[in-house]
Structure 1
Amino acid sequence: MRGGGSFSADELQMLRKLPAVANATKDRITYADTFKRVCVIRYLSGESPTKIFREAGLPPELIGYKRIERSVARWKKSAIKSVNGSEEMSNSEIIAQLIELFVDTMKTKKKLDNIVGITTPNASAAADASNAAGVVGVPAAVGGFQQSSAGGLDSETAISIIRQQARRIDELQRENEDLRAKLDELTA
């Protein structure tokens, strides 16, 4: 494994199986939107980008340290713009607004699903998760914080939950995009 260069066929196959990766080509990785959001929130919570990528199955020896640094910096800048923030905002203020934006997105998705008649039993999972322990509603697993109760999560379980939630959120986002396109066609 080496970082930053072209990926071999085996590396591409491995990358494409990861929930954090939307697509991978010989020279480029497109990350899942959910992974980007979780990555920014965890980074703003004080975690190392390298650790976040490694836990997502993206070792820096393969991805490249510079590629990771540049990606996280770009995603942070984009996140700040998405919440109408500024560089002067504290990390916790940005996190709070990102979570609020995420919950609002999920509520809108649920409303659109109801209009079209689609039932998604886990559509409220993100809203429920946002009420869990952590920084301004960030779930313990997403925020990288350990729950301090007898029923707390170990890191392996938390990572598994994050991966499952990331896959489901990506599915819901794709459905949401399809629904918006259908709604646009109907109203055009």
Structure 2
Amino acid sequence: MNSFELNKIFGAVLGVLLFVVGMSVLSDMLFTPEPAGVAGYALPMPEGVETEVAEAAPAEEPLPVLLASADVGRGEAAVRKCASCHSFDQGGANGVGPNLYDVVGGPKAHLDNFGYSGALAERGAAGEVWGYDELYGFLANPRQYLPGTSMAFAGIRSGQERADIITYLASITENPPPLPEAAAAEPGAETDAAAAQ
């Protein structure tokens, strides 16, 4: 066999392999397999056998309690993750989000020189304000708290971190509303107070 014949054989084998791989890729693009269902079936529990109930996540402290233990320094450190979109200085420029100086207790959509989302502008026009509870809910999950907001932020899971941020925002507010009292939010505080009288 001469080299020309070998080249033809190798070329044919390579062509067939290339065709098979190409067809495999093409068929994967055209046909998406359906996910398999649940394997097996659920077995009924015999009567009289107690099942363990998963413990619920521990209840979060009420906001007044969290605010009472909040720290302005921790809040200032925590807002660094917000600094790419917001400024916090008096008279600071707006970024992707509005300047947040003097926001606590102020109206939602508090700046005239910022283009708020329609949902937030409507709430501001209706006279809603950024109280402690409102900020706490918004920081937890902006899109769930205010459907239609253009704020693309997943939220802050830690209640204590949200309270720290709110305390920092209150510290850069000229006349912040008074903090809610912790005793009023603690369960059983009213009954304890009544029993003491």
Alignment TM class, shorter chain as reference = under 0.3
**Which structure is higher in RCO with an 8 Å CA cutoff and minimum separation 6?**
2
TM-score normalised by the chain length of structure 2: 0.23
Pick the structure with greater CA Rg: 2
Higher helix share: 1
